[in-house]
Structure 1
């Protein structure tokens, strides 16, 4: 049964009001009031009759009735005569002024107009970021299968995507698109009637599903069931029935777990795209990533800037990584950017995760804060699931089933519960490089669980202690029984280690178990060194030394911690005060334990420390001690290590022949790889290879020198550690400069600048500048070279970086001489030679003697007697078998090809002799210059004529 009046039609059973066939949006109480007036059209209906119908069993004042009648009048408008459809009869009530007629056309045969149904959709999000492709994919899948569930963790934007899909598709459905928000429905039995009410039909309590299915059977309609997870069983049954019996109905659900019913197809909504750590350094701009675009968009909408500069964009990317690309979390964080700045937001996240930051006032209650979002999910869990979820919140990063069982407790079916939590999108599966399955919580979920644990201090202490003990014993099992430097690849074996170790250490040393913390430091320092976390390693090792429990004093763990403290202190700024003491303590324990291998490792570290500090004499003494410690250890790796250290000591002392003999043993392609696992040792190996290249270059084997230097760069890059990579790049570039391969040299210097800047290695960045300065001097651009060399030396001095200072001072002296500043050149060169004598870095002494002779030659008369210092320098180079330096000394003396000196048969003969001793063809800049000069000399012309 239905009624008509004017252009209106009212269907009581469906609670639908239409005007000219289009549905009119009308409130429930307004509909009840209108129905009473229609049923009594032309008659006055008392206020009591109206209130009893619209507000049954409720006492309502007259004001409420007047308000609703006024709203109803506005909805209906006016009759063709210009009068309201509803009039007030003073003192009696209200009346519908036009007659109403019965209209008995069957409602189920009348199509529900799409335009009217569109009004049931929420408005489309004005600015949707990063989900256009998802909308297209869901559209296609829904068109193909008719039944799609968008599944994912809370806050990803499932509802946003579903609403966008519905708006895109609504015109394709004759009977419209309906959006059913199930969040406010607490009883699953009310789901059918809730859906029915949107269609304007009523269903009886005993026949809800059949009545709804019957109504939909002949309809072509899209039904969006939003937030189905808390009513999962009832929604699943109903959705399956509709899918099976209503071929024109398409169903789109949003839920945190699949319905798992016939016909359902899952679309897993991924997080927004997160920039990798190296983002912004390649071809793709960091703001191209959808998570960063969303952050910038919402920050701008909240009063921030429209665009971010590069440093702030990098910080925004880190925020998005911290928030796992969860759209709601990013929006809430971005809303703070105008007030706190982008860096301030990251600081807030570090200090206190923003679980209670407020979002849009008009958002659903569960989307207004992250805490509310997680409360919604948490409260749907049973008690066991709640317990497991909050306890696995102690894991920082991935965790295994074994770890979870240990921390949660064996009395709970942890594996089954974690699987259930995974299905509910509260726990994510992570596939390791070896195919192992691990799990992790989103950062926002973990922060929520940590908050839950804080409210139960006893449980938190129990869980934290179990967590720390588990990782201590795990690492001790991985590390125990092996030499310190043989521990490597821990992150490949256990990628979940680092975050959890940090978490455990924080607890141990902040009111937890100090003794356990010391044990954990001892077993974790190899990992920290492997990952280049030098400052962090130094901090934890320092703390462990300070609180060392009596029962661990003098143990291998004590030695390991002191060794790590010393190793990290070599690099960490302002930490070197503890290095000598820590090395001495570690060595004392190793010798007391008669642990020869440990003793050798510690001596190797001490060798790097003293040579980095500019004391090559002490380095040579330690090389001898290393050789003594290695005696009796029948191990190829040990022999390689000793060869490296001895070769390095010889090379710095300027004894390249002896150095090469050591390097031929330790650096041959088929030699044992050596202990290339720890900061000290793999630095030794790389230093050995680059020094091997330099010695080969000095002795005239330029091609082999370049191949060896390139091998050092390749091997250092493979390590993935910035320190050996910087060392390799610096010394390989120096070798290329000496060879005259200037394009390759500048390429390595640029790479060194990039790597050192990325890792905040200020001294190595200065080295890159110095190399470019030396290169400019060699290329005939002395003024620019002088500027860069001075800049580099100033920074290296401030950073207490001693290596390559002698080399750069010599290059600076040569540049000054080339610009005619001979006096300053000689003073600078004297500084370089004095520094070499003082430190024992004699590698370049022969070259500097020759440079001094050439400067003095260029300032004196061009007479035969003036070349005596040059000839003495040549003799010294010949004695050291430094063929490349011998040629360079001779070339400097004849740099002016038109001078009288070039006509000296003595020097020309020297150059000819030197060239002949290079053996196989060597392609170097000096040899090319020598050939050109020789062709212009009298000897060269005579030879050509003969």
Structure 2
């Protein structure tokens, strides 16, 4: 937990607060008040590191506990220890600790830190009474006491000024150009021997007064309109720094004069701040980028969020406004959201932070979606253009031409980044030339009203959030908002529809990336079209186009919601169309993974398949057959698997695509596996793996996307008697080679967990289960959360925590049954039955297992029926019914042999040995020895080690 306050230890009441020394020296260093020098030269330290140094030096030779250091250096804050370690590392680096044998600070594990160098000091002096703030150098504005997030650029910017002499600090309004320029002026005051002139040009209304303003600042008395020659003559052979702040509105005159000064006065350095470049000889651009903000949705802790400058600035300014509430880990996500909405713009952050005490964090996040933020007022002493975001943007809006204003307003309809092609399609005037948009776009970028970033060989553009809110308001005032939104929605639909048809090719990856970049605009277009009658004609096609995108990006909840809404609006022209096909296919797929394997999901998939076959759409027919196959896997209706998979293989052959054929082999192989034919399963899966390179190279738009044969092959290999190969097969799928698709990633984790359970590696099962629960929770795939609970309970039972494991299973199994999710339920039922028997509840255990076996046998059997029969035999034997137990085991062994499941047979043979010993058989090991001899690997796995031990205990 991190308290939302500001200040450092120097103002606190920590252990070392209030100490001032006339002089303290150690090694080549001297410390006086808050000035550290090395051999007389100042050493730059951050304020926290300085606080830590002062405290440690004041108690040199003592171990200062970490909590005391934290309380001193972060007075009023509760921060994580990582912050202390970071600042101690900074301090050690500044001192050169460890170089050439020098030692200053040592860490005493579990206790704290100790300053170990010899210290020479005078008598401590009482803490000085509070004094007035130190006045800035003459002619310079006050600098901020704490400039957050920009400290690191000051040395670089200062060095560039000395080397290049003419630097323009460029960036959008409110980003902090003036703050940085003032700080640089103060930093370089001594370097230029007090010859630093800071000119705020914002108040100038007449550009012709630029030269006379600069002349006056230099102390020149001129008697004619253009004093440029006087200025050049005065500056020639003089060494000084001129800071020209806020040049954009008088940029032509500033540019001409600055270029002349740079060319004619070789000892003068110029720092200009502007929303656009001066575009003259000698100018070097220093782009001031937004403050780094926490990533959205990363679930960072409070301490991790506050590692980002935007969040630190927000907290600092909120504390300065008197808000002292705590930022908890739960609040950290909201703070990250706020910083994201403010785009790292310092002015926006300060204005919002000043109001957090009024609204609270969560309400603040909601308010930032409104135009209200544009009118929030900041410091009364700030220049008028910086007192509100709206005023800042008014300033910029007034500096652009009419065409640029129109284009800016229309571009505000884009909710995310956009390309030049996007801009031309949406922002061009009706009947106008697209060249106007290109020219306007160039000017808007130059004036920092649009940001731009590389995108391969081209570029993408975006409006910062505050600029977009401002431009949208202007668009609404102009009366064009509805027309532009309609044009935008239609354009998004056409682009997405075009991308649906491009499923292969060398540039498929870039096309997929381009489609993904449309997500924010797809959402905005959907919201608008379903809320406005003007968008009614677009609704079904737009939702159908977006549905494919949502599935590609694993946004299955959104896919389900919008598909349902669009299907409710079908009319005679859209029923049976490609759009109904897309919506039904998406609805069935999304229902499976976000809700349950319901009749509605099956009906949607069947309806989609009916339409695709009627339209002769083979790619969608394959996709729907594969989704139906997945549905029947999950529901345990294994008798449907093979017919569906073989039909998919037939369709894949018609298409003739290599990756599609590999995907079909995976479907057929997994169908054989679950239905209980491991020999055929291995043959088909091996064939799929041989073409796996083609399958893995497919992009999300491919009809056979993400069919990974290795996932089922690993389980088949174990069942066939190759445990080592099985583990080697599955290991990459849970590491760097994990499927990209979030659903396939869950499947890989589930099937890997089941395999590691069979092998007996419960640590691996535990690891897979934790990752599965996190992954499923993060992406809203709730059925997999119940599966994770089942695997967790299996692990608990295997490790002897039977009672708690059963309790967890009792909660997980009803959830799986409610979801009609039977794929893993039978294995969990077997563990529940054994656990109940172990706790003395044999009758309940047998009844629970009997129900599951009956269901599976009525549906034609399954891959794990031999194991379920074996467990039934164990429970029968526990109840004293040895004849029934023997019958069950004989059936289990025969079925395992029929299925080609050597590993199931080995387990059954071991159970038979135990049973026959109870029956008094003299030679119980013959069949076990023969089965064991059929293995060629896996001898260190649990079952084979147990079989070897059994064989070694008693001669056959």
Assess same fold via TM > 0.5. yes
Q: Does 1:416 align with 2:439?
A: yes
Are the structure 2 counterparts of residues 124 and 271 from structure 1 closer, same or farther at C-alpha, using a change threshold of 3 Å?
same
- Partners of 1:455 and 1:782 in 2: CA distance: 68
SS in 2 for 1:694: helix
Q: Show CA shifts across 1:486-514 (max 9, x none).
A: 99864324553222223333333332333
Q: Which residue of 2 aligns with 1:603?
A: 625
Determine the structure 1 residue equivalent to 2:822: 802
Query: Normalising by the residue count of structure 2, what TM-score does the alignment of the two structures yield?
Result: 0.78
The 2-side partners of 1:205 and 1:175 are apart by 29
Cα deviation for residue 376 of structure 1 reads 0.7
In the comparison of the two structures, how many residue pairs are matched? 817
1:186 to partner: Cα distance: 0.8
Structure 1, residues 526-560: CA drift from partner, whole Å, max 9, x if none? 22211011122223323333334544443323322
* C-alpha distance in 1 between matches for 2:720 and 2:352: 62
In structure 2, how many angstroms separate the alpha carbons of the residues matched to 1:835 and 1:675?
40
Rounded to whole Å, the distance in 2 between the matches of 1:351 and 1:206 is 48
Residue in structure 2 matching 1:431, options 440, 443, 454:
454
Residue 164 of structure 1, CA deviation:
0.9
Q: 2:143, 2:859 → 1: CA distance?
A: 73
Q: Hey, what does 1:723 align to over in structure 2? A: 743
**Quick check: 1:530 aligned with 2:543?**
no
Rate the CA distance shift 1:798–1:476 in 2: closer, same or farther, 3 A: closer
Q: How does 1:492-503 map to 2 (within 5 A)?
A: 492-494=513-515, 496-503=517-524
Question: Per the alignment, in what secondary structure is the counterpart of residue 132 of structure 1?
Answer: coil
Partner of 1:911: 928
The Cα shift of 1:681 comes to 6.6
d(CA) in 2 for partners of 1:482, 1:247: 60
The equivalent of 2:713 in structure 1 is: 692
What pairs with 1:486-525 in structure 2 (closer than 5 Å)? 490-494=511-515, 496-511=517-532, 512-525=534-547
Deviation of 1:563 (Å): 2.1
Question: Counterpart in 2 of 1:208?
Answer: 227
**Distance in 2 of aligned mates of 1:249 and 1:677:** 57
Displacement of 1:438 in angstroms is 2.3
Q: Give runs of aligned pairs for residues 467-478 of structure 1, distance below 5 A.
A: 467-478=488-499
Secondary structure in 2 matching 1:413: helix
Give the secondary structure class of the aligned counterpart of 2:374: coil
Q: After the TM superposition, which residues 354-503 of structure 1 pair with which residues of structure 2 at under 5 Å, given as runs? A: 354-409=373-428, 410-411=432-433, 412-432=435-455, 434-457=456-479, 459-480=480-501, 490-494=511-515, 496-503=517-524
SS at match of 1:394: coil
Matched, 1:276 2:295: yes
Report if the CA contact (8 A) 2:598-2:819 is conserved. no
- Aligned-pair distance for 1:183? 1.0
Q: Distance in 2 between matches of 1:575 and 1:846?
A: 26
Cα distance change, pair 157–840 in 1 and its aligned pair in 2 (3 A): farther
Match of 1:559 in 2: 581
1:927: Cα distance to partner? Answer: 0.5
Q: SS of the residue aligned with 1:425? A: coil
* Structure 1 residue 130, shift from structure 2 partner: 0.6
Q: Write the mapping of 1:59-78 to structure 2, written as runs, cut at 5 A.
A: none
Alignment of 1:579-618 (within 5 A): 579-618=601-640
The DSSP-based 3-state class of the residue aligned with 1:606 is helix
Kept after mapping to 2: 8 A contact 1:605/1:681: no
Structure 2 residue 331 is matched with structure 1 residue 309: no
Contact persistence 1:213–1:245 (CA under 8 A): yes
SS in structure 1 at match of 2:407: helix
Residues 335 and 578 (structure 1 numbering): CA distance in 2 closer, same or farther, change over 3 Å? farther
Preserved CA contact (<8 Å) 1:826 1:852: yes
CA contact (8 A) 2:170 2:177 kept: yes
TM-score if structure 1 supplies the norm length?
A: 0.79
CA contact (8 A) 1:641 1:675 kept: no
CA–CA separation in structure 1 for the residues paired with 2:535 and 2:170: 42
- The answer to whether the 8 Å contact 1:676/1:685 transfers is no
Equivalent residue of 1:362, what SS?
coil
Seen in structure 2, the aligned counterparts of structure 1 residues 925 and 391 have a Cα distance that, compared at 3 Å, is same
CA distance change for structure 1 residues 297 and 760 in 2, over 3 Å: closer, same or farther? Answer: farther
Distance 1:652 1:241, change over 3 A: same
C-alpha distance after superposition, 1:82-112 (max 9, x if no partner): xxxxxxxxxxxxxxxxxxxxxxxxxxxxxxx
Structure 1, residues 223-281: CA drift from partner, whole Å, max 9, x if none? 22111110101112222333344444332211111212233222111111123346566
- Give the structure 2 partner of residue 181 of structure 1: 200
Tell me the equivalent position of 2:188: 169
**Residue aligning to 1:829:** 849
Structure 2 vs 1, CA of residues 229 and 542 (structure 1 numbering), >3 Å: closer, same or farther? same
Distance 1:635 1:129, change over 3 A: closer
Q: Which residue of 1 aligns with 2:723?
A: 702
| Paired position in structure 1 for 2:682 | 660
Q: CA deviation at 1:810?
A: 0.8
Counterpart of 2:794 in structure 1 is 774
Give, in angstroms, the shift of residue 374 of structure 1: 0.9
SS at match of 1:225: strand
Whole-Å Cα distance in 2 between the matches of residues 782 and 120 of structure 1?
A: 78
Alpha-carbon deviation of 1:426? 1.5
Residue 761 of structure 2, aligned match among 735, 741, 744: 741
The whole-number CA distance in structure 2 between the counterparts of 1:555 and 1:675 is 30
2:343 alignment partner, SS class: coil
Contact 1:611 1:619 in 2 (8 A): yes
Write the distance in 2 (CA, Å) between the matches of 1:702 and 1:333: 60
Contact conserved, 1:590 with 1:596, CA < 8 A, in 2? yes
Structure 2 counterpart SS, 1:728 = helix
The 1:326/1:799 distance shift into structure 2, 3 A limit, reads farther
Whole-angstrom CA distance in 2 between matches of 1:141 and 1:368: 31
Aligned to 2:169, the other structure's residue is in SS state strand
**Judging changes above 3 Å, is the alpha-carbon distance between structure 1 residues 142 and 866 closer, same or farther for their aligned structure 2 residues?**
closer
Q: Does the 8 A contact of 2:300 with 2:333 survive in 1? A: no
Unaligned 5+ residue runs, structure 1? 1-114, 940-946
Label 1:703 to 1:669 Cα distance change in 2 as closer, same or farther (>3 A). farther
RMSD: 3.4
Identify the residue that residue 936 of structure 1 maps to in structure 2. 953
Which residues in structure 2 correspond to 1:754-903 (within 5 Å)? 754-797=774-817, 800-837=820-857, 842-860=862-880, 867=886, 869-892=888-911, 901=918
Which deviates the most, 187-196 or 215-224?
215-224
1:146 counterpart = 2:146? no
Higher alpha-carbon deviation: 540-549 or 163-172: 540-549
Q: Which has the higher contact order (CA 8 A, sep 6+)?
A: 2
Are 2:699 and 2:705, in contact at CA under 8 Å, matched by a contact in 1? no
Contact persistence 1:117–1:176 (CA under 8 A): no
**Matched residues in 2 for 1:401 and 1:671: separation?**
35
1:118 counterpart SS class: coil
The CA deviation at 1:185 is 0.8
Partner of 2:22: none
Q: Which of the two has higher C-alpha Rg?
A: 1
SS of residue in 1 equivalent to 2:595: coil
Note the alpha carbon deviations across 1:343-381, whole angstroms, 9 max, x for none.
Answer: 222222345572222223332222222211111111001
**Counterpart Cα distance in 2 of 1:311 and 1:841:** 48
Residue 795 of structure 2 aligns to a residue in which SS? helix
For 1:605 and 1:197, how far apart are their aligned partners in 2?
A: 78
Provide Cα deviations, 1:747-806, integer angstroms capped at 9, x if missing partner: 322222221232233332332232232234334443453344334335434555433111
Runs of at least 5 residues in structure 2 that lack an aligned partner in the other structure? 1-133
CA shift for structure 1 position 727: 0.9
